[in-house]
A and B are shown apart, each in its own frame.
Chain A
Amino acid sequence: MYDTVRAELFKLRKRPAAWVLLAAAAVLSQVFGYLIPYLAYTTGDSDSFTGRASPQDQLASTLPDQLLINTIGGFPVFAGALALVLGALMFGGEYGWGTVKTMLTQRPGRGSVLAGQLVALGVVLVIGVAVLTVLSAVTTTGIALAENQPLDWPSLGGLAGGLGAGWLVLMMWATLGAMLGVTLRSVALPIGLGVVWVLGVENLVSAMATSVLTALQPVRDVLPGVNAGSLVAAVMPAQATEPPPGVSASVSEPRALLTLGLYVVVCAVVASWTSRRRDVV
């Protein structure tokens, strides 16, 4: 499997789409985590912030002690959607190009190939989380120095736990994309369905369960996005500004952790079962 992981990592390193997705995640993280709050701080009028975060609150949200939430706050929705696209591209693309037969006629068996791909996907997401964290750290350091604010960093343990939770959120979405890519044997349809689910259906069901049809709450509480948002909400520090979209403590942290883990396992098993049983034609 080690050779398969190396092959997959090499392919991803050379694949322009992977870099585009990382760049998109970085831009979203920087713009919504730092640029907009900082602009609101520098250009905002205190009087106009009645009932909302004041300019000082906006500045506080960009400082080093908020590194975790500014890094992983977008993971349940925006970065999650990008991770789903990555999973669908990585697995569905093999069917689109017909390269699945090239892979499967080399040495490794089907299970080994799929396991290697999933491991590579996990490794790439670790790298992605690390890159986003470093970018956020650089930006928040610059803002703190420019505004003469203290460099109070989150504890190492808290940061590691939070980033681990963020990785699990991305892995869950990416594995869902991978499963869709394998079962639908394409790229476009899994991406379309996945993104509609992440950005549309989840929000719709959540809103309905909260307002017009509370009987939907048990359904809402097993949705992947809701659990992703709950896990991120559980690990983020207290903040004065509104939480990012999709970050809400709908279920408890242990339940969210377990649910996301189950999604990863179930998606991997379904993808593996499908891959093993189906003819490659």
Chain B
Amino acid sequence: MSDHVVEVRGLTKRYGERITAVDGIDLSVRRGEVYGFLGPNGAGKTTTLRMLLGLVAPSAGSVSVLGAAPGDPGALARIGSLVEGPAFYPYLSGHDNLRVVARYAGVPAARMDASLEAVELADRGGDAYSTYSLGMKQRLGVAAALLKDPELVILDEPTNGLDPAGMRDMRRLVRNLGTEDRTVLLSSHLLGEVQQICDRVGVIDRGRMVAESTVDELRGGTELIVAAAPSDVARARLEAMSEVESVRMHAGVLRVRADMRHTALINRTLVAAGVAVTELRRDERQLEDVFFDMTDHDTDVQETEHV
């Protein structure tokens, strides 16, 4: 069994001569991981996801999803997806909409109740879809994605329209999905969410993949910020320490790369050398900082949410 659930090479989608929505991207999602797919609006995320599901035909490149071509019925039976918002029949109840999806998918209707329970929609399952709030529609979309008990779950902005509590619940749900031997491919604007949930991320910008790595690797190693006087003495002392990997002066403070377990030793060493330490703290780059560095032009990415 292949280690890669999704394998994409040189994937390209052109609309006419002038528009290239996706431009030769490579992407791989490993079995059992939660993969974050990031990018500003219009970067090509949804088009890529649509190509993975066989909804949109690639102009060039190769795609393998669960070992099959996109849109292969056998593979689709093992994929649950919610792409660019939920789409259901307004005259049917949430429960009946799931019944329709279950019949298309060929799964037992008995799974409907469990799916509605999973998204906490069981008590409104009998109500017409047209009466649902945006958040409830979104949750029904996730319920439909889970109906097949899929190996691969593709979720495109699953927290759209959800209130803070709903976002928290969705984050918990996605995290749980990732611990159940499933593979999750999550597209999101909410970088804090991705940082908390995802094992690896891919960043797409203007149709091109600009990075693909683990979250930690993208964020880079943690540094210590040291404000000390005299700074030249402090720097020399730090550079002499075998526990310190590197020292650089930036914006009036020393930025020290070292194992954080040596923080107390560094402090003691400086004090023992007669250096006055006025500040000593960790500096962790957030995924958001990295994202903006990579997509350094006007974007409409939302603020990182902290629920």
Give A residues with C-beta under 8 Å from B: 3-4, 6-7, 10-11, 14-16, 97-110, 112-113, 279-281
Contacts and interface: CB of A to CB of B under 8 A. Distances in A.
Contacts of B144: 102
B101 A280 contact: no
B7 to A, nearest CB: 19
Given A99-B89, A109-B71, A279 B55 contact: yes
Nearest to A5: B103
Contact of B91 (A16, A102, A105): A16
Contacts of A107: 73, 76-77, 104-106, 148
A80 to B, nearest CB: 25
B80 to A, nearest CB: 9
A10 B79 CA distance: 24
B103 A10 contact: yes
A11 B92 contact: yes
A6 to B, nearest CB: 5
B53 interface: yes
B132 to A, nearest CB: 14
B50 A7 contact: no
Contacts of B106: 3, 106-107
Interface size band for B: 20 to 34
Most buried by B among A103, A104, A106, A107: A106
Contacts of A279: 50, 55-57
A153 B76 CA distance: 53
Nearest to B53: A105
B96 interface: yes
A245 B179 CA distance: 67
A44 B99 CA distance: 55
Contacts of A16: 91
11 contacts: A4-B103, A6-B103, A11-B89, A14-B91, A97-B87, A101-B55, A102-B88, A105-B53, A106-B104, A112-B73, A279-B57
Given A14-B96, A99-B87, A280-B56, A105 B79 contact: yes
B17 to A, nearest CB: 17
A7 B100 contact: yes
A274 to B, nearest CB: 14
A14 B50 contact: no
Contacts of B54: 104-105
Nearest to A99: B87
A279 B71 CA distance: 12
Query: Among B54, B77, B103, B106, which residue has the most Cβ atoms of chain A within 10 A?
Result: B103
